[in-house]
Each structure stands twice: as C-alpha cells, then as structure tokens.
Amino acid sequence: MLFSPDISLMLAATFLDQDHYLCEFRPFWQFVPFAEADYPWRQSHPRLAQWLDGLSDHQVAIWQDDPEQAHAACAVYLPQLKHPLAIAKHYQQTAAPFWLKNAIKGRKWQQISAFSALISPLPTSILEWCAGKGHLGRLLAWQANHEVTSLEWQAELCQQGQQSADKLGLSQQFFCTDVLKQATADYLQQEQQVVALHACGQLHINMLQDAVASRVQSIRLCPCCYQLIAQAEYQPMSRQAAQSALRLSRQDLRLAVQETVTAHQRERDKRQTEKRYRQMFDIWQRSHSGKDEYLAVPSAPDSLFRQPPLFFCQWAAEQKGLQFNAEHQLDALQQAAEQRVRRLERMELIQHLFRRTLEHWLVLDRALYMEEQGYNVTLVEFCDREVTPRNLAILADLQP
C-alpha cells in the first residue's frame, strides 16, 4: 500500500513531489484551451507542436480514451513526464440480495458496492452525507445492521429514500438538510462513521470540517466535482498545501474531473457539437469586436446543441449583449471552427496528462488536513476507472 497510517511523513513527501511537478509543468496544463488560438508551448517546444499538428483525428481520439498510451507517446517530446501516483487498490464488491439493487443502474451499483466495502465494521451508527435517494445508506443499513442517518437537501429525494427504506424494513432515517447553509452538529456524534460517495466540492469540504469539529471517529469520503466551491479561487485545506505556489481557479479545478470513460456516445457527440458551436461564436465575436480576446459564455441548455449552429450563436450573442448578424458567414465560421476544434483537442491531449496528478494533489490536500487534525489517513482506489474515474477514497480514523 502506498500510504500507511503509521507512516505520516509519506503523505507530506508525496504531496511535495506532486506539487513541484505541477508547478514545473504549469504551462502545459494551467490554461484554458478555448481561450488559446495556438499551443502555449509553441515557442518552447516546437517539435511537440509540430508532432501534435501531424496527428490524425482518429489517433487523438484513441489517446484521449487511453491515458497510458497517450503518456507513452507524448513522453518522447516531454521526457520529464511522470506517471500518476500508483495509489493502493482496494477492489472489492459487497455481496447483497437482489432486492437491494432494484432500480440502481449497473455502474452505479458497482460504485456503491465497492465503496461500501471500505466501511469499517465498527459498532457505531453511520451518517450518510449528501445521500440522494440513500442507495449507499440502504446497503450499509443492511450490511452493518446499524442505524443509518441520511442527510439530503432535496425533499423529494428524502421522501423517495425514506419510502424505500421503510418498505425494506431497514433502519435508515432521512433528514432534509442543506449542509451548506444549516448547522450539522446535531447529526454528528463522536461514536460514528460519516460516509459520502461522490460528494461535490464545497459539500465534502464542509463534511470534513464539520466531522473534525465534532471529533467523529471514522470518515470515508470519495470526493468529486472539486470546482464546485464557494470562492473563485481554491482555498487549500491543509497547512502544507497553503504554502504551495499553485493558485487554482475553478477552471483549473475542472480539469481534475474531465475524464469521461463512462460517458455514453450521445454525451460525447453533444460535447463535440458544443465545442464546434462555441468556437464558431468565438471566431465571430473576435472579428466583430476587433479584439483578439476570448469571451466566456455561460453554460447553455442542451437543447441548443440539437439545433443548427445559428440558434446557439444568436443565444450566445444575446448573453453578452450582442446581436449576431452573420448568418451569411455560417459556412465559413463552421469550417474555421472545425480547424480550431482540432487544435483544441490536441491541446487537451497534453493538458489531460496532468489531470490525474492534479486530482491527487487535491485529495492529498484533504488527507493532510485530516492528518493535521489528529486522524490516521489512508488513500485507496476503490474501483476500476472504467466503473468511474472518480475512484479515490479517503479513509480517516481518529487517533486513540
């Protein structure tokens, strides 16, 4: 196992190594591809830029789905590249009766089952943070035969989850609580395990901070969506991360969760259309304004990407107080956008070499924070990336 609870220095040393690496290679990952017309490394690494331009679209697509192959190919031009950390694997599935799996899709059940295998068999109650419908909580209530308290802010999900638990005769109690706005101390106890599977940014940050404040005995967390935070810039949790030279925006944090091995083809097609439409608008607005600057456009309804590009361009212009009047240029804009998308995808090919390392940096920050607060901490991969790329778990137990 890479990290052992009795070797606390390993966390600090490993974080420092990852931090130095990310700082050294910052030009290759800390940028917004949509905002760049050319590779940021064109001057410093011309051979890399020339090689990328010569790649076929088919080869780029293959490597985007295969990080190992992409790393091997790119290392020829970036010999200082490092492989991501080899986090200890804990791939187990909890055997459960069929009636617990009803209405839970295959991959989702695999994630829940694998994560539940990390729960310690302690004689304590369990608090499920950001429970949704409480699928994980129901499995734990059955598996551990303990009382499970499930916190969820959406009343409809609480109602559905409670009905399912009552129907199955499981000891699971839902409370409709917004953990970002309401105090949680009344739900937290020292003799307790707090668990969260794929809790987003600020939600899991609050979970760790609130659990520490209540000196909760045991914590099991799989973090997700690091970019969903309260501040525009990431606020490190640990003292060591606070000393880093890295400053991370929400856009930077989004890189850590961009891997999409579980995405359906329809989702992938939609993303490709969105890239093309957004590039069309960007090309037009630069020409229209006379400023060669990227203009950020907010998230758009999916329905726009099922329509011709004119509708998106008109919508985007309206969002920025402009009037799109280039209907006669759509064909030319589309051709130019397709070339920009090709360049963008090659930028992303390089950028994505660092997304797992960035995620490790963020998880290590959380692990170091828990260690500083008096917890023994272990990091594991609890399932294969094909089940979910967000497969890192923090196991924290209060020191005696």
Does residue 233 have a pLDDT over 60? yes
Rounded average pLDDT over 100-106: 86
Out of 47-51, 86-90, 212-216, 241-245, pick the least confident: 86-90
Is the CB of residue 336 less than 8 Å from the CB of residue 283? yes
Q: Where are the domains of the chain?
A: 9-66+265-354, 98-256+355-398
The whole-number pLDDT of residue 9 equals 63
> Does the predicted TM-score (pTM) go above 0.85?
yes
Q: For residue 267, what pLDDT band results from cuts at 50, 70 and 90?
A: confident
Q: For residue 54, what pLDDT band results from cuts at 50, 70 and 90?
A: very high
Rounded average pLDDT over 190-214: 97
CATH architecture of 98-256+355-398: 3-Layer(aba) Sandwich (3.40)
Token output for 226: 């690091």
Does residue 388 have a pLDDT over 50? yes
Rounded average pLDDT over 330-354: 97
Token output for 8: 């606390």
Nearest CA to 306 out of 265, 274, 278 is that of 274
Rounded average pLDDT over 128-146: 94
Contacts of residue 255, Cβ cutoff 8 Å, sequence gap at least 6: 29, 351, 352, 354, 355, 358
C-alpha separations of 45 from 18, 31, 70, 345 in Å: 22, 16, 17, 18
CA-based max dimension of the chain: 72
Rounded average pLDDT over 14-41: 96
